[in-house]
Structure 1
Amino acid sequence: MTTLVFISFLSLSLLLVCEYAESNLSDSLNMLEDKSLKTEDDEIEFSDFPSWSGDERGVRVLVNVDSFGAVGDGVSDDTKAFGDAWKEACSTATAVLLVPPDRTYLVNATRFKGPCAENLIIQIDGTIVAPDEPKNWDPKNPRIWLYFANLKGVLFQGDGVIDGSGKKWWAASCKKNKTNPCVGAPTALTIDQSSNIEVKGITVQNSQQMNFAISRCESVRIFDVVVSSPEDSPNTDGIHLTASTNVVLQNCKIGTGDDCISIVSGCSNIKMESIYCGPGHGISIGSLGKDNSTGFVTAVVLDTAFLIGTTNGLRIKTWQGGSGYVRAIRYQNVQMVDVANPIIIDQFYCDSPKSCKNQTSAVEISQIMFEDISGTSKSQNAMKFACSDTVPCNHIVLNNIYLKRSDGKAAQTFCNSVKGFKYGYVQPSADCLTQSNNDSDSFINTFQQDELLKSHSLIHSEL
Structure 2
Amino acid sequence: MSLKKFLLSIFIIIIINIISSISCDRSTNLQENTLEDFVDEASGTGYDSQAYPSYWSMIDDSKDLIEQSTDDVLTLKSSDQVAVTTVSVHDFGAKGDGETDDTEAFVKAWKVACSSKNAAVLVVPQKIYWLKPIRFSGPCLSQLMVQIVGTLEASDDRSDFRQDGKHWLIFDSVRKLLLDGGGTINGNGKEWWQNSCKINKSKALAFYKCKDLIVKNLKIQDAQQIHLSFQKCMNVLASNLSITAPEKSPNTDGIHVTNTQDILITTSIISTGDDCISIVSGSEKVQAMNITCGPGHGISIGSLGSGKSEAYVSEVALYGAKLIGTTNGVRIKTWQGGSGSANNITFENIEMLDVTNPILIDQYYCDSKKPCKEQKSAVQVQNVLYKNIKGTSASDVAIKFDCSKNFPCQGIVLQDIKLEHGGGKTAKALCNNINFTSIGVVSPLCYQAKL
1:362-417: per-residue Cα shift (whole Å, max 9, x none)? 00000000000000000111000000001100010000000000101010000110
2:373 & 2:414 partners in 1: Cα distance? 31
Shift in Å, 1:133: 2.5
Unaligned runs of 5+ in 2: 5-45
Q: What letter corresponds to residue 216 of structure 2 in structure 1?
A: K
Deviations 1:175-198 (A, max 9, x none): xxxxxxx65242000001011101
Residue identity in the other structure for 1:161: T
1:132 to 156, 166, 170: 156
CA distance in 2, matches of 1:432, 1:395: 16
CA drift at 1:87: 0.2
Amino acid at match of 1:323: S
Whole-angstrom CA distance in 1 between matches of 2:326 and 2:58: 32
- Tell me whether 1:94 sits opposite 2:119 in the alignment: yes
Q: Give the drift of 1:57.
A: 5.2
> CA–CA distance in 1 between the matches of 2:110 and 2:342?
39
Please say if residues 159 and 202 of structure 1, whose CA atoms lie closer than 8 Å, have aligned partners that are also in contact: yes
**1:116 has 2:140 as partner:** yes
- Counterparts of 1:50-61 in structure 2, within 5 Å, are 58=79, 59-61=83-85
Q: For residue 213 of structure 2, give the secondary structure of its aligned residue in structure 1.
A: strand
> Following the alignment from structure 1 to structure 2, what is the Cα–Cα distance between the partners of residues 184 and 393?
32
Q: Measure the CA separation in 1 of the matches of 2:327 and 2:385.
A: 21
1:226 Cα deviation after fit: 1.1
Match of 1:419, as an amino acid? Answer: N
- Cα shift at 1:40: 3.6
Does residue 173 of the first structure (1) align with residue 196 of the second (2)?
yes
Aligned to 1:45: 57
Name 1:250's counterpart in structure 2: 266
- Residue pairs, 1:313-328, within 5 angstroms: 313-328=329-344
CA contact (8 A) 1:2 1:153 kept: no
Distance in 2, Cα, partners of 1:141 & 1:251: 32
Counterpart for residue 395 of structure 2: 379
The residue number in structure 2 matching 1:455 is none
- Alpha-carbon distance between aligned partners in 1 of 2:374 and 2:184, rounded to the nearest angstrom: 45
In structure 1, list runs of 5 or more residues that go unmatched: 5-37, 175-181, 436-463
Within 2, Cα distance between the matches of 1:56 and 1:240? Answer: 40
CA contact (8 A) 1:192 1:216 kept: yes
Report the counterpart of residue 348 of structure 2 in structure 1. Answer: 332
2:186 & 2:202 partners in 1: Cα distance?
Answer: 12
Q: Does 1:146 align with 2:169?
A: yes
Question: What residue in structure 2 maps to residue 284 of structure 1?
Answer: 300
The structure 2 residue matched to 1:271, chosen from 276, 279, 287, is 287
* CA displacement at 1:56 relative to structure 2: 7.2
Q: Decide whether the 8 Å contact of 2:432 with 2:450 is kept in 1.
A: no
Higher relative contact order (CA 8 A, sep 6+): 1
Instruction: Show the counterpart of 1:157.
Output: 180
From the superposition, tell whether residues 97 and 41 of structure 1 become closer, same or farther in structure 2 (CA, over 3 Å).
closer
Q: CA deviation at 1:41?
A: 4.7
Instruction: Report the counterpart of residue 423 of structure 2 in structure 1.
Output: 407
Tell me how far apart the structure 1 counterparts of residues 125 and 49 of structure 2 sit (CA, whole Å): 40
Q: Deviations over 1:50-82 (max 9, x none)?
A: 9999x9755522100011000101110000000
| Aligned twin of 2:34 | none
From 309, 325, 338, give the equivalent of 1:293. 309
The Cα shift of 1:354 comes to 1.3
Identity, in percent, stands at 43
1:302-451 matched pairs, under 5 angstroms: 302-433=318-449
**Structure 1 counterpart of 2:99, from 62, 66, 75:** 75
Task: For residue 237 of structure 2, give the secondary structure of its aligned residue in structure 1.
Answer: strand
1:423 CA drift (Å)? 1.0
Structure 2 CA distance for aligned equivalents of residues 61 and 361 of structure 1: 55
User: How far does the alpha carbon of each residue in 1:235-291 deviate from its partner, in whole angstroms, 9 at most, with x for none?
Assistant: 000000000000001101101100000000000001111011011100000000000
What's 1:2 paired with?
A: 2
How many corresponding residue pairs? 392
SS in 2 for 1:169: helix
Change in CA separation of 1:329 and 1:56 when aligned onto 2, cut-off 3 Å: farther
Q: What amino acid sits opposite 1:116 in the alignment?
A: C
| Partners of 2:319 and 2:350 within 8 A in 1 | yes
Which residue identity lines up with residue 145 of structure 1 in the other structure? W
Higher mean Cα deviation, 90-99 or 319-328? Answer: 90-99
Asked if structure 1 preserves the Cα contact closer than 8 Å seen for 2:231 and 2:259, the reply is: yes
- Relative distance call for 1:159 and 1:61 in structure 2 (3 A) is same
Q: What TM-score, normalized by structure 1, do the two folds share?
A: 0.81
Q: Is the 8 A contact 1:420 1:434 kept in 2?
A: no
Name the CA distance, whole Å, in 2 between partners of 1:275 and 1:434: 34
Tell me the TM-score normalised to structure 2 length: 0.84
User: What is the letter of the counterpart of residue 165 of structure 1?
Assistant: N
Residue 434 of structure 1: CA displacement? Answer: 7.2
User: What is residue 178 of structure 1 aligned with on the other side?
Assistant: none
Residue 193 of structure 1 corresponds to 209
Please say if residues 376 and 406 of structure 1, whose CA atoms lie closer than 8 Å, have aligned partners that are also in contact.
yes
Return the offset for 1:430: 2.1
